[in-house]
Amino acid sequence: MDVVIGGAGISGLTMGYFLDKKKRDYILLEKQSEPGGLCRSIHQQGFIFDYTGHLLHFRYPEIESFIKSLNLKLLSHKRRAYIFFNGKLISYPFQLNLHQLPPEIGYHCLYDFIQRRSCPNPQNSEEFFVSEFGKSIFQYFLEPYNQKLWTIKPKYIIPDWMGRFVPHVQLSEVLKPLFSGEEITDKGYNPFFYYPQNGISELPLSLVKKISQIKLNQEIIEVNWKEKKVITEQGTYPYGKLIWTLPLKSFLNLAQPAVPEVIKKSFNNLRSVKVLDLEMGFEGKSPEYHWVYLPEENILPYRVGCSSNFYQGKPGQFSIYAEIAFSRYKKIPPGDKKAVLEKVISSLKKYKLIDSQAKLQTYIARVIDPAYVIYDKNWKQSRKNIFVFFGKHSIVPVGRYAKWYYASMEDVIFNTLKIAEMM
Ligand SMILES: Cc1cc2nc3c(=O)[nH]c(=O)nc-3n(C[C@H](O)[C@H](O)[C@H](O)COP(=O)(O)OP(=O)(O)OC[C@H]3O[C@@H](n4cnc5c(N)ncnc54)[C@H](O)[C@@H]3O)c2cc1C
């Protein structure tokens, strides 16, 4: 086999799609019985449950036209995102809606924004945030929110993950709504987004139709990187090139023979956050929002979203996802998943984030692992060491978890396309 692709998430499928177009000899191996990886939807009692919100936002025209060419029924939405702060919903982004804050807090945020000092080469995310937004916006929102998401303080995270994910703003933009009272909602990387009418799994399912060489239920159980062979319970697949889309860390346990000690150390330095994903279907009055950021510690999730507002659920019903981050640095509270679910529902009702009369109809509670790669002090060097080792052995990492970075579906499709062009 010329190319073996491990994993049929969105990156493995995209690679298969483009290799097919190039008439390359390849095989795509996926351990699950269905393709899609994290881009999958479960239809349950009239609700659509994804692996938390999976929304499409485009910045590359070529990827937008590629996805649109797949003929998905895409619904388009103008973002309705908020921050739950001091018992109230503040429009997102926080830094442009200071007039919605309690006056004393809004004043401090504005004052410190004006006083901020630029930092040309920030060493960590705290330095970046404070230099970009001032001390108070950091302390009131960015620090508690990011600590909840990453499970460690921003000062332990290098700024490389942020890029477009954190909206950059000018003083004029911060001042304008203070006097006009206007609600600013169209800033950031996703003011508009698309969502397939029947759930995000429509995207992988439309790709898989155009792929000729896919084998499902084929778990990779060994990679002999010296002899260039991938082994599953059903067979052995020799390769010229191995496209690796599985989580980077999983290579360590599958490698036969074991990787050299210095590379093993780099694998062992990789850190990530897991997410407990609670998908809940309710009977009751739907909230208006698409999603809400929850920086406060007294609510477990760092974010909740109303997914039925993406797929347009039935009247009188709505679905909510809640995302709770945990890791070796922060455990989730004791108790089974059902107990955590009940706790989350009761706080959502208490803080009026859902209808207090809503009745739970059905749910899924599952763990996404890994969910977010932690950009700690070892991130850069560990990846580099591993990728140099991969390069020597014809292994190409592709996708969010194989490249071990923070990337959207569009990013991984874009990157996969670029790699496919070079193959
Ligand atoms: C909480 C959360 C919310 C997100 N929200 C958004 C969003 O709103 N918009 C957006 O654009 N992106 C979002 N993303 C990012 C998006 O999920 C990823 O960019 C994308 O799914 C990555 O696809 P992938 O193919 O690289 O990896 P994966 O989806 O992880 O695919 C890897 C594949 O490898 C398979 N596999 C694993 N082990 C084996 C094995 N041993 N043998 C064979 N196969 C194996 C898996 O089953 C899987 O199919 C979100 C991610 C998270 C965690």
pLDDT at res. 79: 92
Q: How close is the Cα of 357 to the center of ligand 1, in Å?
A: 35
Q: Which of 67, 72, 16 is nearest to 41 (CA)?
A: 72
Nearest-angstrom CA–CA distance, 17 and 24: 10
pLDDT digit string (tens) for the chain, length 423 residues: 799 999 999 999 999 999 999 999 999 999 999 999 999 999 999 999 999 999 999 989 999 999 999 999 999 999 999 999 999 999 999 999 999 999 999 999 999 999 999 888 899 999 999 999 999 999 999 999 999 999 999 999 998 877 666 777 888 888 888 888 777 777 666 788 999 999 999 999 999 999 989 999 999 999 999 999 999 999 999 999 999 999 999 999 999 999 999 999 999 999 999 999 999 999 999 999 999 999 999 999 999 999 999 998 899 999 999 999 999 999 887 678 889 999 999 999 999 999 999 999 999 999 999 999 999 999 999 999 999 999 999 999 999 999 999 999 999 999 999 999 998
The CATH number fitting domain 272-373, selected from 3.90.660.20, 3.40.50.1700, 3.40.1440.10, 3.40.50.460: 3.90.660.20
CA–chain centroid gap for 31, Å, is 21
Instruction: Tell me the C-alpha distance between 52 and 64, whole Å.
Output: 22
Residue 40 Cβ < 6 Å to ligand 1:
no
pLDDT for the residue 342: 95
Looking at residue 163, its pLDDT comes to 67
> What atom in ligand 1 is closest to the CA of residue 372?
53
Q: Are 304 and 292 in contact (CB under 8 A)?
A: yes
- The residue whose CA has the least distance to atom 25 of ligand 1 is 9
Query: Which pLDDT belongs to residue 419?
Result: 96
In the chain, the amino acid numbered 11 is S
d(CA 19, CA 97) in angstroms, rounded, equals: 47
Number of helices (H) and strands (E), helices first, in the chain? 14, 19
pLDDT on residue 126: 96
Q: How far apart are CA 219 and CA 261, in angstroms?
A: 26
31 lines ligand 1 (CB under 6 A): yes
Establish whether residue 290 lines the binding site of ligand 1, counting it when its CB lies within 6 angstroms of any ligand atom.
no
**Domain 3-38+199-270+376-422 coded CATH 2.40.50.220:** no
Cis peptide before 120 (omega within 30 of 0): no
Alpha-carbon span 81 to 412, nearest angstrom: 24
Based on its alpha-carbon atoms, the radius of gyration of the chain, rounded to whole angstroms, reads 22
- Do the beta carbons of residue 307 and residue 48 sit within 8 Å? yes
- How many angstroms separate the CA atoms of 317 and 87, rounded? 25
Residue 409 beta carbon below 6 angstroms from any ligand 1 atom:
yes
What pLDDT, on the 0 to 100 scale, is given for residue 164?
Answer: 66
Residues 149 and 418: their CA atoms lie apart, in Å, by: 30
Both tokens assigned to 418: 């670029």
Q: What is the pLDDT of residue 125?
A: 95
Closest ligand 1 atom to residue 8 Cα is 49
For ligand 1, atom 49, the nearest C-alpha belongs to: 37
CA of 370 to the centre of ligand 1 (A): 9
Protein residue whose Cα sits closest to atom 27 of ligand 1: 9
Q: What pLDDT score was predicted for residue 196?
A: 97
Q: Which helix (H) or strand (E) segment is 129 a member of? A: helix 125-133
As a whole number of angstroms, the distance between CA 214 and CA 4 comes to 10
User: 204 in ligand 1 pocket by Cβ < 6 Å?
Assistant: no
Atom number of ligand 1 nearest to Cα 411: 19
pLDDT of residue 332: 83
Whether the CB of 11 sits within 6 Å of ligand 1? yes
Q: How far is the CA of 399 from the centre of ligand 1 (A)?
A: 8
Mutate to test the pocket of ligand 1, among 55, 164, 248, 400 (most ligand atoms within 8 A of CB): 400
At 335 the pLDDT is: 73
The Cβ of residue 274 has, within 10 Å, a number of other Cβ atoms equal to 18
64 three-class SS: helix
Q: Encode burial over 1-14: b for 16+ CB neighbours within 10 A, e otherwise.
A: bebbbbbbbbbbbb
Closest by alpha carbon to 192, among 59, 305, 79, 73?
A: 79
Q: To which H or E segment does residue 319 belong?
A: strand 317-326
- In the chain, what are the domain boundaries? 3-38+199-270+376-422, 97-184, 272-373
DSSP 182: P
Asked if the domains at 3-38+199-270+376-422 and 272-373 fall in one CATH topology, the answer is no
Which residues, other chains included, contact 379 with Cβ-Cβ below 8 Å and sequence gap of 6+?
Answer: 158, 160, 270, 271, 373, 404
pTM for this predicted structure: 0.95
CA-to-CA separations, 334 to 243, 321, 339, in angstroms, rounded: 39, 20, 9
Ligand 1 atom nearest 409 alpha carbon: 11
- Is the distance from CB of 267 to CB of 252 less than 8 angstroms? yes
Structure tokens at 38: 């994290």
